[in-house]
Structure 1
Amino acid sequence: MATNIGMMDGAYFVGRSEILAWINTTLHLNLSKVEEACSGAVHCQLMDSVHPGMVPMHKVNFDAKSEYEMIQNYKVLQDVFNKLKITKHIEVSKLVKGRPLDNLEFMQWMKRYCDSVNGGGLHSYNPVERREASKGGKEASKKSAPQPSSTKGSTAAPRPTSSHARRNSNDVPSSVNPSNQPAKAPSKPSTSVAAYDEQITELKLSVDSLEKERDFYFAKLRDIEILCQTPEIEDSPIVAAIKRILYATDGDASVVTEAQAMLSLDPKEAEALSPIAEASEEKSGSETQKRKNILNTDVDAAGIITLSPRQRLTDASDVHCSGSPLMTY
């Protein structure tokens, strides 16, 4: 019995049309989109179809519109999962928003589970009768059976056409063609709109899939960056090479070559190439120069203090004789 299946399982490659056909056939519904089952009521009845009597259908609300009402249905579904010891996690916050990809993935898992229970057999299950016990179940059953209304429309349609034919019995047959054209014209826009809706749904699914893939790989790169910032390994050559690739601003292939060259260098040379090492060397050099200047100043001051008065006078006379501007009056 399948409870937790991997993302690469064949269940997640089942098409949307096949999922819809399976739902409508199993529960006698007429859904046109998978996200129409986002309220959770359909999921509850699917579990009831493979485990008769396990789901309290009187607590299921097929007329749920708000997120609060939908969450109540998912609570019923979660209780059923707990009773059956199913460890599948239900992402309620995503499902209630009606996103096509999230609802399709969960419905694919539902089909995989239902097929694994006794081969998907329903055991003479009556979905319409079971649905009537839930709130809004009768309305859902009426919406799923539009055949009587279509037959009435077909029987009522010939009456105005027959009366129209009586009035225009003496008209030329060419006048009949314009009356037939408006009846056929609406069928073309309806098919084009349905095709556009299908394309929009497919684009939404692809966008959602690309967003998930982007977030997945970005999280991986962020984890690598955090690992490279660990103090114990931050100054190693291999981390410097990895950072060179991570922080490259262009798609030049030479970046990989440069990173490999950094690995082939000695650790001392690699540190010399590292911006952090250069900054530390400049800082240490400046500090060394400051120390030398301070030391020379101290030595000169000490030398002046230790000079005798005669030596000081001799130095002053030498400066005066040399024409220094410091000794002019």
Structure 2
Amino acid sequence: MVVNVFISAVTTDTLSRKDAVAWVNNLLKSHFTKVEEMANGAAYCQLTHLLFSNSINLRKVKFNPRSEPDILTNWKVLTTSWKDLGIDKPVDVEKMKKGKFQDNMEFLQWFYKFFKANLNVEPEDYDAVGSRFGEDLPALKGASGPRPAVASVRPVVAQTMKTKTTMQPVAPVPATKAAVAPTVRNGARPAPATSAGNRRSETSPNEELLKQEIEKQKTLAAEWETMAKDMESEREFYYNMLQRVEALVHEADELKATTIEVETLKKVLYDGNEETVENGDDNSQLNEALNANIDDTDTF
């Protein structure tokens, strides 16, 4: 009798991703490195075969599927077997086959609990590798795929040897640079005799244009940086001037005065700012304009 289980977010008997992968590898003598590799359903087919003897025909299982139809076949074999066993767990094959961690981890957590609930005897004598006919799970890199047939190479070698033995001698050709033909080995003709080093050392027109454009952009960036510094200095100059004038206005408000002495204002505008003295002629035109405006009236 199959014991159906459920799992939720508050279930406590769950495994971490590393423990879950290690648990599967221990049972199946496999070498999974992450949960997502079980998305093709082959591992669940063999785990069901281990848990319920002869419940699945493992010859129908594609342990290392190479296409989506093979993956769908595995899940069909699994769900058909579960239906016969009375397992009521719904399987969203569309989600599982995408190989996303969250979906596959939740499914593996459920299967771990289901396996523990239905395990009667520890599977110590289960031959995991033999049950899947000696196939690696998953396939090791470099070990999958059909090996090239040696017999198919021998006729080519024999034909090549026969051609060499039946070739007629050819009169020698004067050893000049123009008459020397490139040597052909194993049917592959070498590349034309050009100097790769010389080609690399030569600078193409595109590279020259690119270098010129880079230098141009560097010069432009330096000009913009200088301009930005000048604008920043000018901003600070006028900001400090405005602060001093504002201080005079506040002082007049506190004294309840309605005017500000022109000499006091001139002192703030010209004598009180160190940057004005340093700049000198740079602000001479501004100073003259301010003097002209201020001299028109005695007070503000």
TM-score w.r.t. length of structure 2: 0.44
Larger radius of gyration: 2
TM-score w.r.t. length of structure 1: 0.40
Decide which structure has greater helix share. 1
